[in-house]
Amino acid sequence: MEGKNEIEYGDGFLGDLRRLPREVNEKLSFLLGLLQENTFDPRLHTKRLGPPLKDKYSFRITRDWRAGFMFSGPHRIKLLIVDHRDKIYGRMKRLL
C-alpha cells in the first residue's frame, strides 16, 4: 500500500488492550507503527484470513498473540480484536 494508513480502534480491540500482558502491549505499540506505514511489512507476518473470515486479516504480535483487523476504506484499517492465537479466530467468527 502506498501512503500512511489511518488506524481506527474497534471497541473490542480497546477492551482487549486492558487484558494484555505488559510486554505484549509494549510490542503491540511498536507493531502498530509498522502497520500504519506498511500493512504487509514482513515483521508483522500479516495474513489474509480465509472463509468465513473473508476480507479480514491478522498480524502476529508475538508467537502466541495476534491482532485481527479489516480495511474499512482506502488506507484505513479498523483494528477489531487482540487475543491469544488459540482464541482469536473463534472470536472473530462471532463478530460476523
Residue range 10-55, pLDDT digits in tens? 999 999 999 999 999 999 999 999 999 999 999 999 999 999 999 9
- Count CA atoms within 13 Å of residue 39 on its CB side: 22
CA distance 35 to 30: 9
Count of residues in the chain? 96
Residue 1 has what pLDDT?
45
Of 63, 70, 77, the C-alpha closest to 49 is: 70
Give per-residue pLDDT as tens, 46-84: 999 999 999 999 999 999 999 999 999 999 999 999 999
Task: Quote the CATH superfamily of domain 6-94.
Answer: RelE-like (3.30.2310.20)
CA distance 31 to 87: 20
Percent of the residues in the chain that have a pLDDT greater than 70, as a whole number: 98
Q: What residue spans define the domains of the chain?
A: 6-94
* Reported pTM: 0.93
